[in-house]
Structure formats: structure tokens, C-alpha cells
Amino acid sequence: MRLTLEDRFRHQIDQYLYDPWDDGPVVLAVSGGSDSTALMHLAAATMDRARLHILTVDHGLRDVDAEIDLVARQARSLGVPHSVLLWRWDGSGNLQAAARNGRWTAIKDWCAAHQGDIACLTGHTRDDQAETFLMRLARGSGVAGLAGMAPTASLDLTNGHGLRVVRPLLDATRAELQAWLTGQGISWSHDPSNDDARFDRIKARGLMDQLSQLGLSQDRIVQTSNHMAAARREMRAYAVMVAKAHITQQGGDVMMPINWPQHPEVAARLFRHALHYVGQGPYPPRSDASDALWHGLKNGTGGTLHGCFVSAHGDVARISREPSAVAEPMAWPHTDVGVLWDGRWLVSCTQTGDMPDDLHVGALGGAIKDVPEWRETGVPRASLLASPAVFKCDTLISAPVAGLQNGFCVRIVADFESFLVSR
């Protein structure tokens, strides 16, 4: 007998959330649509409500006051706190991609403002998995992209703690969730952008009925995505083994051979992973762009991509952080934890006593002129420009990677090998 929706939800939570996260806070990403509304009520029905906090992101793209009000009223009825996070589009790039990245940035910033490790539940469904597969297939994605969304993922927060993303509804369909909500007498909002055929996801959704006539049903597509996920796990294990033998890391930079008599496909994948790791984007670069840069390196031509500066040094490619793409400066928090800056660098204070006021952490940049001994580190100038430094107003205090310690130290919180294992 098929388990109830509540039982399946509880099983997913037990499998992907508990131990060692059993006592930590859990945020729910709720927009007010049927999927996230079902997530909110299922979580409230099966989990300790004292742990829950509902987050709604206001994108400012249309009037969502009624949708936010509905979420707020339902949150109050459940006895769960609710916060509204603001994000505004600057008009650049793809709107849907920018909105997705902006939503995650807002959620991560909210979580980083709270101490400790936090879990975030999202309402992604089986429908989303199938649509994602079709969208990535259209973009020429490889095995990793076609593997779809994983049930769980881990992200680093700027406060040094972690955010675990859990998708407990990936085995549920949107129709099933809507039927459950209707049976419970729970209303939800309809997002008019879900009818806008200008967006790729809506185009993919509209193709499902036609594809099912060819045997490409939603179940078949998800099954294929699961096969890709299994293949991806095997490829990841092999890639880690190859990386241990051929790839090195200096500080935040990844170095790897350009010419590979063996494992050429694995090498291309590792290069793309290195761009993702160094560039710190929420998603890896598109495979066609990374492949073009990878082949250019064989002719000695480097370039920039995905927030990375890539250069060829004989038969070695060096993937460094692009100085113009690093994180914004961050105020020193005056805590024992230090600052997690640009996604990978943990900047800590080694001195005792009171800290000066007005300290901040940012890229060394042009202040490298105030570190005359930087050449002795053996690290290329371009890499040092993007390395973390501590400033008091505009005065350089410390640049540990460049050799100027002055009471501070830095370390990479997760190396490239750890990054590969987590993919």
C-alpha cells in the first residue's frame, strides 16, 4: 500500500535532515504557491513547530501583497513565525536566473545573521525535476546537469556555519499536493508568471503532454534523471581519484595539467568543477563555455569565465579568482569565529585584546603596493589581488596570503577535493 503524503514527507525529513541537525532551526521557503504552501502545512503537521521559521522573498517584480498576506495569515494560524525578505532586480541578466539567485542570496543572508547551522526546506516537486531535466537538455548539459536536483545539498554561510538545503517533496507531483491541500481545505496563491510562455520553465511545462505521447512521460523523464544521478555518483568518485593524482591547490587557486593523454573527458569535467569551486557561483558554468576555454588553453590562450581568471603556464592551467568578481567588503564582526569571505576564506584574528574599530575584510586589490615582499610568497600577483585582506577604513592592516600577517591569519575552509566529494 502506498504511504500517505504525510508519511512520505516524514520519511524524507528523517532521511535527509536529522542527525546531526536534529536540534537546529529549520526555515521553510514559502512563496504562497501550491507547492510551498503544502510544504509549510506538511512541516507544521509532522515536525516540531518550535524549530520552524517561514521565509517569503518579495522580488518586487509584481504586486505580491495578497500572496504574502495569505502566507502570513496561515503562518499565524500554525503558530510559526514568518519573515518577509526583500530582493530587487537590477535589470541585468536573465530575469528568472537573477530571481532564483537573488532568492537564495536573501535566504542565505537571513540565515547567516543567526548563529549556528540551519536547514532550509524547499517545495520542489517531481514536476520541477522533469522540467529541470528538459531545460538542461536544451542547454546541452552533461551527466551532472541531467542528474537534476539532489534531495539535499550543503551551502556555506558567511558566519562560518552551514546551510543544509532539503527538498522533501521531490517524489510528489504538483497535482498530488494540490489535491491534498484541497482535501485539507487549505487555499494557495496562483503566480501569473506560471502562465507566461516567455520563460523556459513554462515552455518545458507546456511540452509535457506532447512528449508523453512519445513515451516521454514525467515518470520516464524522472527515471532517466535518476539514472544520470547514479552515473554522476560513479563519475564523481572516479574524478576525485583522478584529481588526487593530478591536481594541486595553492591557497585559493587550483592548478591542473592542460594535456591529458588519458582521462580527457574527466579532465574537462574537472576543469568545469574547478571553475565552479573557485568562482563560487551557485551553479557551474555552462559546459559549452567551459569547454571552449578548456580547448583554448591547449593553445596557450587563457581568459575569464564564471568569476575566474584562467591562465596557461606551460602545460599547467591555473584557475584563480577574478579580482573584479570577488565578494563585497565585510565589516569585522568582533567575534571569535572571524569572517567567512568570498565563500571560501576564513579570516581570523590571532591577537588578543580589543580590536580596532572600523575594520573590514575585502580583496587586497591595489593595496598590494603596500606589501613590497609579496613576490617572496611565490603566488602570482593576479591571485593575490583577489585574496582577502583586512583594512581599517582605507588603510591596509593585514594581507596574510601576500605575507603580511600583522595579527591575522586566513585559511580555505574547504579545499577542491572536499568540493568534489560534495557535488
Q: How far is CA 406 from the centre of its chain?
A: 33
Q: Provide the Cα torsion 266, 268, 274, 275; round to 10°.
A: -150
Query: Is-contact 422 152, C-beta < 8 A?
Result: no
Task: For residues 388 and 385, give the distance between their C-alpha atoms in angstroms, rounded to a whole number.
Answer: 8
Flag whether 185 is marked binding: no
Flag whether 36 is marked binding: yes
Task: For residues 134 and 146, give the distance between their C-alpha atoms in angstroms, rounded to a whole number.
Answer: 8
- Quickly tell me which residue has 603596500 as its cell: 370
Flag whether 32 is marked binding: yes
Flag whether 154 is marked binding: no
Query: Is-contact 413 346, C-beta < 8 A?
Result: yes
Give the DSSP per-residue string, 210-231: HHHTTT--HHHHHHHHHHHHHH
Closest by alpha carbon to 38, among 240, 207, 175?
175
Task: For residues 417 and 334, give the distance between their C-alpha atoms in angstroms, rounded to a whole number.
Answer: 31
Task: For residues 154 and 48, give the distance between their C-alpha atoms in angstroms, rounded to a whole number.
Answer: 22
CA distances 227 to 148, 223, 231, 232, 349, Å, are 10, 6, 6, 9, 47
Using a CB cutoff of 8 Å and minimum separation of 24, what contacts does 393-396 make? 393/358, 396/364, 396/367, 396/370, 396/371
- Quickly tell me which residue has 603566488 as its cell: 379
Task: For residues 75 and 408, give the distance between their C-alpha atoms in angstroms, rounded to a whole number.
Answer: 44
Query: Is-contact 251 412, C-beta < 8 A?
Result: yes
Is the torsion defined by CA of 385, 391, 395, 401 positive or negative? negative
Flag whether 418 is marked binding: no
Crossing angle of helices 34-46/65-78, nearest 10°? Answer: 10
Query: Is-contact 420 272, C-beta < 8 A?
Result: no
Half-sphere exposure of 329 (CA within 13 A, CB side): 17
Flag whether 34 is marked binding: yes
Q: What is the CA radius of gyration of the chain?
A: 23
**Residues placed in the known binding site for ATP:** 31-36
Residue ranges of the annotated binding site are: 31-36
